[in-house]
């Protein structure tokens, strides 16, 4: 109860199985937004009202977006949950906290001609990466993490078994995919197979463990170098708005599946989402309006006698 918040939080942070990017974000959340308020305060004296005031300050004082405020809150909530499990405190003061609403932003997928133009403008070593991302929906880190062993051109599939994340000082970390559902095998359309054959011809890979896509100086692709040296300049040349990142290729792929009638379940599986609800939350506005299909379904059932469902019509007959 009397332990300083920072002391417990640092012990908690040190034993978490976080990936490098997550560990970095957690450390920043605590250092920037939490320790200045509760660094030396006894963890057991922090009450729900204190948490609510702190949540409000994230927006009012630090001007954080609602989504960022929620992310920072989740870090603090995790610390307090652990403290309850460790019996350091009896209750979690984060329980019941009111969080800022996150405005829903509709995904606007890239059009086919935009993807084609982007593939033309980006350096040749990344042309296959753009086309593969647009035709499989792999996350950027999953694309960077592909090795030759993951690609089966004979059976036209690509296996997602790992991803690359950037670490401090432009290093890279090779780890498992984002979630358990992210482990998946994705079918390769003909355009992806053709693009990969061209890529492997122009940029041969040395052995099955070799990286499919590499940085200009060799080795795996580092995200910031890729963005600064290849992606952003290519987007500017292709007329793609600023702020559009490589995740847009994933949205493009999802939109193509939806346009061609794939179910929510299938789209979710291809993207490696945790569940179909997540897929719907992101892409529900892209599914065609179902009003006409609903009418058609009922009309088809009663096609032999359109008035069969109306007793009054039957009496009139």
The Cα angle at residue 202 between residues 228 and 173, in degrees rounded to 5: 45
Give strand ranges (E) for the chain.
Answer: 151-152, 157-160, 163-166, 172-175, 184-187
pLDDT value at 316 more than 60: no
- CATH code of the domain occupying 5-85: 1.10.150
Q: Structure pTM?
A: 0.78
Q: What mean pLDDT is predicted for residues 176-185?
A: 92
Other CB atoms closer than 10 Å to residue 79's CB: what's the count? 23
Query: b/e for 292-303, b at 16 or more Cβ within 10 A?
Result: eeeeeeeeeeee
CATH superfamily of 112-285: Intergrase catalytic core (1.10.443.10)
Mean pLDDT of the chain: 92
CATH 1.10.150 residue ranges for the chain? 5-85
What are the two backbone dihedrals, phi and then psi, of residue 159, each rounded to the nearest 5 degrees? -100, 130
DSSP per residue over 215-275, as a string?
-TTSSBPPHHHHIIIIIHHHHHHHTPPTT--THHHHHHHHHHHHHTT--HHHHHHHHT-S-
Each residue of 140-165: pLDDT tens digit?
999 999 999 999 999 999 999 999 98
pLDDT at position 222, please?
A: 92
Each residue of 61-104: pLDDT tens digit?
999 999 999 999 999 999 999 999 999 999 999 999 999 998 87
Q: How far apart are CA 135 and CA 253, in angstroms?
A: 6
Q: What mean pLDDT is predicted for residues 105-114?
A: 92
Q: Strand, helix or coil at 175?
A: strand
């Amino acid at each position: 109860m009397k332990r300083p918040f920072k002391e417990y939080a640092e012990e908690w942070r040190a034993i978490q199985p976080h990936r490098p990017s997550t560990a970095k974000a957690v450390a920043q959340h605590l250092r920037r937004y939490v320790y200045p308020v509760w660094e030396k305060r006894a963890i057991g004296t922090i009450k729900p009202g204190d948490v609510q005031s702190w949540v409000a300050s994230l927006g009012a004082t630090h001007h954080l977006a609602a989504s960022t405020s929620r992310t920072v809150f989740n870090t603090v909530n995790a610390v307090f949950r652990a403290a309850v499990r460790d019996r350091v405190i009896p209750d979690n003061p984060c329980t019941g906290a009111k969080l800022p609403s996150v405005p829903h932003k509709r995904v606007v997928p890239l059009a086919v001609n935009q993807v084609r133009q982007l593939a033309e403008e980006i350096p040749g070593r990344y042309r296959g990466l753009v086309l593969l991302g647009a035709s499989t929906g792999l996350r950027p880190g999953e694309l960077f993490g592909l090795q030759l062993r993951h690609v089966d051109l004979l059976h036209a599939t690509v296996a997602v078994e790992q991803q690359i994340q950037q670490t401090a000082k432009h290093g890279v970390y090779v780890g498992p995919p984002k979630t358990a559902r992210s482990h998946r095998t994705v079918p390769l359309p003909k355009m992806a197979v053709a693009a990969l054959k061209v890529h492997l011809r122009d940029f041969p890979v040395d052995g099955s463990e070799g990286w499919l896509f590499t940085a200009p100086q060799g080795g795996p692709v580092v995200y910031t170098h890729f963005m600064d040296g290849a992606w952003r300049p290519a987007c500017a040349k292709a007329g793609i708005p600023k702020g559009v990142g490589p995740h847009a290729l994933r949205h493009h792929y999802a939109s193509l599946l939806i346009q061609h009638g794939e179910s929510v379940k299938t789209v979710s599986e291809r993207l490696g989402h945790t569940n179909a609800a997540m897929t719907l939350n992101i892409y529900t506005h892209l599914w065609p309006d179902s009003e006409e299909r609903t009418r058609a379904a009922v009309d088809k059932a009663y096609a032999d006698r359109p008035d069969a469902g109306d007793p009054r019509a039957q009496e009139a007959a």
